[in-house]
Amino acid sequence: MYYDKRPPMSDNTPPESSDPTSSMLWEYWYPALRSDQLRGRRLERAMLLEVPLVLGRDSAGKPFALRDVCPHRAFPLSFGRFDGASVECAYHGWQFDAHTGQCRHIPSLTADSKLKCDRIHAGSFPCEERDGYIWAFMANSEGRTAPSTSAPATPELPKFSPRYQIARLWADLPCSVDHGIIGLMDPAHGPFVHQAWWWRSRRSIREKAKQFEPIPNGFRMSPHAPSTNSAPYKLLKLITGEPATTTIDFVLPNQRFEQIRAGRYWLSSRTTVTPVRRDLCRLDFVAAWNILPWFPVVSFIIHVLGPRFIRQDTEVIKKQALGLKYEDRMMLVDDADRQARWYFELKAAHLESQRTGEPMRHPVSGPVTLRWRS
């Protein structure tokens, strides 16, 4: 059992910093907006890791992300104009390339001015669109990327056939990203928070044993038969007539993947908990499936029952925040809370790797079986 004033991390955890973004993980992709929020030449505002962003699409439809602060007088660029190539600050008319942030024009300069405007940059962030989301690669808070730094591939939801349906859900969570993530991977709260006749109840609690294994930057709940005390899984078996297996991955900084396979049928989902501020994060859920596209049973579960689940979790987090004002210690008990401990240890290992330049030391040494009741 772990009981301490600080979240459980390894002995190599760097000392706490007064910087409010010190607990956030850099050099990762984060979803900034949904694709349908970025239309035409409109500029949209977002915030990731307490960094203000302005996002838009160029004349070819490719998204971009700049730091929403003009380097001249710190005026938000999101209040300016965009012509399909350059963002113009509404305060003094300075213009910046939408993708690189390089200053292209300063209207107040005279012909004999020695100021080289192309040496001035607004912060810019690599930006890609995938799975219906606009992703930004957050290397640092200033939007400065060294020439030798290349962003890894943008996260993608696994899909297992060319034809499928897709759906998305989202919600704001009034808590730190740490509390959001460990709530996401908590296996024991279901019968108490998500009680419903069509899901689970306290009477359905039973012992579980799941095998876990390390994967790059995370850990995996190895393929296993879905829980027999969940009505939707029973319905899936009835529909497909095939034995089903479930695989669940957690990958830094904030992604939980779940894949359900039953013969040629599959459902793949990804949930991310993205830090907006140190006291606010956003949950984004996307699922793709090919299960009976002509019969909207999966669509009903996601669009009707999914929001209910999210509201229940949001209400719990709001109420938890009342207690966290007075007691911020966490008691993490084996085995039900082991995934939460692994998350903190992975996070500490990543920060240590950034500090030393050494490869990240994985806290999960090999396959392990965890047992709990839920």
How far is C-alpha 270 from the chain's CA centre? 9
Greater model confidence, 368 or 295? 368
pLDDT at 17 over 80: no
Q: Are 259 and 154 in contact (CB under 8 A)?
A: no
Question: Which amino acid appears at position 325 of this protein?
Answer: K
Is residue 1 very low, low, confident or very high in pLDDT (cuts 50, 70, 90)? very low
How many CB atoms neighbour CB 366 within 10 A? Answer: 8
% the chain with pLDDT above 90: 58
Among 141-145, 255-259, 338-342, 366-370, which stretch is predicted with the lowest mean pLDDT? 141-145
DSSP state string for 29-52: EEEEEEGGG--TT--EEEEETTEE
State how far the Cα of 160 lies from the Cα of 267, in Å rounded to an integer.
Answer: 9
Q: Are 368 and 332 in contact (CB under 8 A)?
A: no
Which H or E element spans position 339? helix 338-356
State how far the Cα of 118 lies from the Cα of 96, in Å rounded to an integer.
Answer: 9
pLDDT at 109 over 60: yes
Beta strands in 83-226 (DSSP E): 86-88, 95-97, 103-105, 124-125, 127-130, 133-138, 165-173, 207-215, 218-224
Greater model confidence, 205 or 138? 138
Q: Are 85 and 95 in contact (CB under 8 A)?
A: no
Collapsing DSSP to helix, strand or coil, 270 comes out as: strand
In terms of Cα–Cα distance, which of 156, 122, 127 is closest to 139? Answer: 127
Copy the structure tokens of residue 216: 């790059």
Q: Are 138 and 275 in contact (CB under 8 A)?
A: no
pLDDT at 196 over 70: no
Is residue 115 very low, low, confident or very high in pLDDT (cuts 50, 70, 90)? very high
Among 123-132, 148-157, 334-343, 353-362, which stretch is predicted with the lowest mean pLDDT? 148-157
Is residue 202 very low, low, confident or very high in pLDDT (cuts 50, 70, 90)? low
Single pTM value for the model: 0.87
pLDDT at 206 over 80: no
State how far the Cα of 198 lies from the Cα of 208, in Å rounded to an integer.
Answer: 20
Q: Are 5 and 329 in contact (CB under 8 A)?
A: yes
